[in-house]
Structure 1
Amino acid sequence: MSSIIELSTTLLAASAPIRNEPVQARSTARLAALLDSAAAVIDEIGYERLTTAMVADRAGASIGTVYRYFPDRIAVLQALAARNSERLLERLVGELASDAHATATDAVLGVLEVTVELFRMEPGYRSLRVGDVLDLLPPAADETANSVVAGAVAAALQQRFDVSADDAARRAIGSAVEVIDALVARAFARDADGDAVLLDEARRVVRATLAGVL
């Protein structure tokens, strides 16, 4: 299962345009600090107003340091979105393999709970989640970021619960991932803890979407 997630993570992360990939621990830490700073600013003002100067100022770095890694603000946003996607996929490894889930539907509901936790705890995630309009994948790609996640979930469910790989199952899982992305985002739009009514509705719609299919 981990290899499935790794392949999906590679596909998403490969499109983040970082000028100089860090090869030393110090450079990796510097890049992480820049992304942490971008996430903190985005939490305060949203991603539309983010500038490279704001990232540098929050990180206590020079603007030259930012441009060493990123050609522009869009590249910063894409790199942060890629990191958010990577963190989601990493957490899905354990969630989808958990013995706590008796059924495939329970496992998909676990995906929802992982998503909720990221919205609550991961800086910048509410603005730059996997399915955001700032899509990670290039225009020529046949897939969206959400479809990459759905494909990883479908493959994991097939391994763990022997779920069918037919079109109906994949369509249902893809729809469930879209529901999770859209309704959880809506639940957190004006409530930092997530609107409980909308989150319950997301769980209900996910169950209904998968009923009779998985």
Structure 2
Amino acid sequence: MLDACAEIVDEVGYEGLTTTLLAERAGVAIGSVYQFFPDKRAIVQALTLRNMEAYLERLGDRFSRGDLTYWWDGVDAAIDEYITMHRRVPGFRTLHFGDVVDVHLLDEDRDNNGVIAEQLARVLVEQFGTADAPRLRFALEIAVEAADALIKLAFRRDPEGDEKVLTEATALIREYLHRHVDAAPSAG
């Protein structure tokens, strides 16, 4: 059902998604949809959570290869994976991490990009020995918001992502974080 949901939101957007359309596309009875999801928001929330898990798994795979030496390599990898998901994961370009539905879709107390920033902070601390401080989390929240806006702009300009905008977005985020993120001397 989640795959069908992703296809539908790519075709008609969140507003065009209905539980009836989902049931038809998934080849299930409408009652089966309601057995798992009370409404379309819940379906999209499940798809968004799946996308976040996939994103974090993709990042984990990149980090486990051992070819990322410094924290900024991790930031570049995070941006690259986000762009790749826009290009290849059905429904992601439309839903991102659920902000089109509700900025608190992933967590009722924090906005979606705040959740992503928190996850990135955890990874940077664990993988690269980045200093774990409120300043890191704040800088990452700013960086995630800026990257999200610029990547959306790139995909509005070109269905595959305007490379000039994507290059500038990566440079902007990297330079911003270089000014605000402390790493342990033995990072890497």
Aligned-partner SS, 1:165: coil
Aligned pairs (5 A) from 1:119-130 = 119-130=86-97
Looking at structure 2, the residues matched to 85 and 152 of structure 1 have their Cα atoms a distance apart, in angstroms, of 10
How much has 1:138 moved relative to structure 2?
5.1
> Which residue is equivalent to 2:131?
164
Aligned-partner SS, 2:156: coil
Query: Which of 50, 55, 58 is equivalent to 1:83?
Result: 50
CA RMSD of aligned residues (A): 1.8
Query: Which of 122, 126, 147 is equivalent to 1:155?
Result: 122
Q: After the TM superposition, which parts of structure 1 deviate over 3 Å for at least 4 consecutive aligned residues?
A: none
Q: Residue type matched to 1:86 in 2?
A: E
Aligned pairs (5 A) from 1:98-137 = 98-130=65-97, 132-134=99-101, 135-137=104-106
- The change in CA–CA distance for 1:138 and 1:207 in structure 2 (over 3 A counts) is closer
The more displaced of 102-111 and 155-164 is 155-164
CA contact (8 A) 2:4 2:25 kept: yes
- The change in CA–CA distance for 1:72 and 1:159 in structure 2 (over 3 A counts) is closer
Q: Residue type matched to 1:124 in 2?
A: G
Gaps of 5+ in 2: 182-188
> Which residue is equivalent to 2:37?
70
CA contact (8 A) 1:96 1:157 kept: no
Looking at structure 2, the residues matched to 110 and 171 of structure 1 have their Cα atoms a distance apart, in angstroms, of 20
How much has 1:99 moved relative to structure 2?
2.3
Q: Residue type matched to 1:153 in 2?
A: L
CA contact (8 A) 2:154 2:163 kept: yes
Q: Residue type matched to 1:113 in 2?
A: D
Aligned-partner SS, 1:109: helix
Gaps of 5+ in 1: 1-33
CA contact (8 A) 1:130 1:145 kept: yes
Aligned-partner SS, 1:126: helix
TM-score by length of 2: 0.86
- The change in CA–CA distance for 1:144 and 1:138 in structure 2 (over 3 A counts) is same
CA contact (8 A) 1:84 1:128 kept: no
> Which residue is equivalent to 2:161?
194
> Which residue is equivalent to 2:21?
54
Aligned pairs (5 A) from 1:17-56 = 34-56=1-23
> Which residue is equivalent to 1:27?
none
TM-score by length of 1: 0.77
Aligned-partner SS, 1:174: helix
Looking at structure 2, the residues matched to 91 and 74 of structure 1 have their Cα atoms a distance apart, in angstroms, of 25
The more displaced of 80-89 and 118-127 is 80-89
- The change in CA–CA distance for 1:190 and 1:35 in structure 2 (over 3 A counts) is farther
Count of residues paired in the alignment: 179
Percentage of matched positions with identical amino acids: 39
CA contact (8 A) 1:89 1:149 kept: no
